[in-house]
Amino acid sequence: MLKVRDRRRAVKGLASELGRLMEGERDITIMHLCGTHEDTVTRYNLRSLLPKNLKVVPGPGCPVCITPDTDLQMAFHLLEKENVILTTFGDMARVPFEGKSFFYYKSKGYDVRIVYSVFDALEIAKESEKPVVFFAIGFETTMPSTALAVLDGVENFYVLSAHRFFIPAMEHLLSFDDVRIDGFINPGHVSTIVGVKAYEHINVPQVIAGFEPEDVLLALCMIVKAIKRGENCLLNEYTRAVRYEGNVKAQEVMDEVFDRVDWEWRGLGIVKNSGGSLRRKYEDFDALKFFEDAFKDFEPREDKRKRACRCGEVLRGVATPLDCPLFMRACTPKNPIGACMVSFEGTCNIWAKYHARKDNR
């Protein structure tokens, strides 16, 4: 990591380089694909350093944000129907539906427990007589851990999977008519697992980037240079953490446990081959299978409070939090309505935290 003085010099130099590269160029839109990248961009107000014809927009890089309300309702439904211990991550526990959340259910006496990893849920299952259900969210970064927990084969442990494979969403984004993407800054955390090779079939300029301000600006310089040359490059700026082949063992354990199915993403609709469903050979640990009778009368509903919420458009990169009529009015970090306001990786939460204004558009 650079010292403060060196970082300032590097950021200033890269911003100047971007200005020179973009002189006389058409408007260019780069989408980054990680909530931590948005935190970096907004925290350091990097958008204020960019030339007017270069736009950086956040994409669907927050796993809490893209988890649709249907998945959340299924978890709530299971709590109401069965005497289970429901475990999940803390940021997921605050996502509301019709004013309810996992914390709401906990306050009403339901056995909801916040865990730091799936292995905490596994330990609870070893000591509990009640079934323990892990509401599993996240991309390839957290999927290997869930897969290992399933392979441990602990009795009384079940997974309600809301895992998504990330790369199909990138391909899906390019199919939207209202989404303009000239290049991607690929997610650093996911890339440590899937490797550089996983992106080779996507035909737009891409750079895998780290999370320091100089990482992001360097990635932008690399993408703009590729666009000017007319090349659909795939470059790895994050060489200190990401290898070409990725984490092969993690990939193997994911492929062993999870099948790829067509699942919904908030804001993106149905994304083909993106859902992480437990394979049939592991259905004894699949909460959907084990509690099949409980879901027979399940019917998803619409949360009318969210009709004005523009979280889905923010996740597609066609709107900013400032375009949402609820942002920092009805929807705040203390009283969120949309999922993008809940997670620390959510764009609305980040913009609220750093008091983003018009210059962050």
Whole-angstrom Cα distance, residue 124 to residue 134? Answer: 10
> Per-residue pLDDT for the chain (361 aa), expressed as one digit of tens each?
566 678 889 999 999 999 999 999 999 999 999 999 999 999 999 999 999 999 999 999 999 999 999 999 999 999 999 999 999 999 999 999 999 999 999 999 999 999 999 999 999 999 999 999 999 999 999 999 999 999 998 999 999 999 999 999 999 999 999 889 999 999 999 999 999 999 999 999 999 999 999 999 999 999 999 999 999 999 999 999 999 999 999 999 999 999 999 999 999 999 999 999 999 999 999 999 999 999 999 999 999 999 999 999 999 999 999 999 999 999 999 999 999 999 999 999 999 999 876 555 5
What per-residue string of b and e applies to 26-57 under the rule 16 or more CB within 10 Å gives b? eebebbbbbbbbbbbbbebebbebbbeebbbb
Rounded (10°) CA dihedral 251, 255, 260, 264: -50
Q: Which of 3.90.550.10, 3.30.300.350, 3.40.50.11750, 3.40.190.10 is the CATH number of 1-304?
A: 3.40.50.11750
Whole-angstrom Cα distance, residue 357 to residue 361? Answer: 8
- Structure letter (DSSP) for residue 237: S
Show the DSSP H helices in the chain as ranges.
Answer: 4-21, 35-43, 63-66, 69-81, 102-107, 118-127, 143-152, 167-173, 188-194, 213-229, 248-257, 287-290, 311-316, 347-353
Q: How many CB atoms lie within 10 A of CB 103?
A: 15
Residue type at position 247: N
Domain ranges of the chain: 1-304, 305-360
